[in-house]
A and B are shown apart, each in its own frame.
Chain A
Amino acid sequence: MSSIPLTHILFVSTALFFIGMYGLFTRRNLITMLMSIELILNSVNINFVAFNKYLYPDKLNGVFFSLFIITVAAAEAAVAIAIIINLYRNHRSIDVEETQEMKY
């Protein structure tokens, strides 16, 4: 189980983070940008759990941090989707290039 070094887990989570960054850079649709943000948050969670498992196996703080991050991410996704739907209702578009005003 511990035959995998910690650095390999960190490499893979870094790759996941930058895949999410690539999506955030290239996409111009609000829903797909939200998906990229979810990928980024997941890579952070993996890091927390891996650090907890390998460096401080007698504590639980990393597990708690990842649980709270999951909760905050769920709330963030819900609010973001409410905003997106409201934006679509007023603008008929969820492209970030076409949303130039915050007032409807």
Chain B
Amino acid sequence: MTASQIIFYLISAFVLGTAVLAVTTQKIFRSAIWLLFSLVGVAAWYFWMQVEFVAAVQIIVYVGGVVVLIIFSIFLTQQSGSEMPKPPLKRILFSLLAVLFGFAFSYRIIYEYGFTPAIPAKPFTVPVSAIGEQMLDTRQYGFVLPFEVVSMLLLAAMIGCIVIAMKTVPKGKTVQKHIPPIGTNGSGKLITESKDLQVEEKTT
């Protein structure tokens, strides 16, 4: 067993273990952190496969962008320390069964097919210059059209995010009414009730 094989299996165990923890842990913030580790493991995998450019893009976009976005949305939407309710046992059981059968099915298909690799095996080198030239190539097998389409998609997604997440101010008011967060809902109500009581006491 060579060092390359050992590294491959170590990375695989790391990615799968952190992915399992990310989908099973009950605290949502920990789940995001486990997802971060899993994505870093996938980037390590790309380094192992010697596609350094894809690994760099993975780290920049996923670890630097998507996970940070997820963590910020967790901070914006809920108490990160609180535990999520556990899914019912029936749902866990049946989804586990579905997943295991699906995995066994795919495993069998891949195992039977075998995938004979390209012969003679050429070294797989991905220089960044080759990626850039083919990405902006207008001839056959060039990727300039998907490149432009994806840039339009990103622009549309950016504008769409701003439009969706923008606070809509009602026409009559200039400032939206302040809504207290969930945790203080009960206490706020209590305060108003006690004020009412005091008012009632004064009147009596």
Chain A residues at the B interface, C-beta cutoff of 8 Å: 1-8, 10-12, 14-23, 25-29, 31-32, 34-36, 38-39, 42, 45-46, 49-50, 52-58, 60, 63-64, 66-68, 70-79, 81-86, 88-89, 92, 94
Contacts and interface: CB of A to CB of B under 8 A. Distances in A.
A31 B57 contact: no
B19 A39 contact: yes
Interface of B: 2, 4-5, 8, 12, 15-16, 19-20, 22-24, 28, 31-32, 35, 38-39, 42, 45-46, 49-51, 53-54, 57-58, 61-62, 65-66, 69-70, 73-74, 76-78, 84, 87, 91-92, 94-96, 98-100, 102-103, 106-107, 110-111, 114-115, 117-118, 121-124, 126, 130-131, 134-135, 143, 146, 150, 153-154, 157-158, 160-162, 164-165, 167, 179, 182
Given A32-B31, A49-B49, A71-B154, 4 more contacts: A1-B50, A32-B84, A58-B122, A79-B160
Nearest to A85: B165
B110 A14 contact: yes
B178 to A, nearest CB: 12
Most buried by A among B32, B69, B91, B130: B69
Nearest to B101: A18
Given A14-B110, A53-B51, A92-B182, A22 B161 contact: no
